[in-house]
Amino acid sequence: MSGMTCGGCAKSVSRHISTLDGVNGVEVDVTRGMVTVISEGPLETADIRRAVDQAGYQLVS
């Protein structure tokens, strides 16, 4: 992800992704710019990208 610089950024991203159906957990690593999503089943990348965008950040891959 691009643009995250602090714990507040991580909380915002986590909160937005957590609203997606089927998401059981979200782990955000600000230092590495990575997010791990734990879910009941497969999620659409577009849905995750949209949630990250709504949080004000950019999913880069």
Phi-psi region of 17 (alpha: psi -120 to 50; beta: other; left: phi over 0): alpha
**Which residues does 1 contact at the CB level (< 8 Å), separation at least 6?**
13, 33, 34, 35, 52, 57, 58, 59, 60
Res 50: pLDDT: 95
| Fold category of 7-54 in CATH | Alpha-Beta Plaits (3.30.70)
What's the pLDDT score for residue 2? 80
Q: According to the model, what pLDDT value does residue 1 have?
A: 74
Q: What is the pLDDT of residue 5?
A: 87
Domain ranges of the chain: 7-54
Helix axes 45-54, 7-18, angle to 10 degrees: 130
pLDDT, one tens digit per residue, over 3-55 is 888 999 999 999 999 999 999 999 999 999 899 999 999 999 999 999 999 99
pTM of the model: 0.89
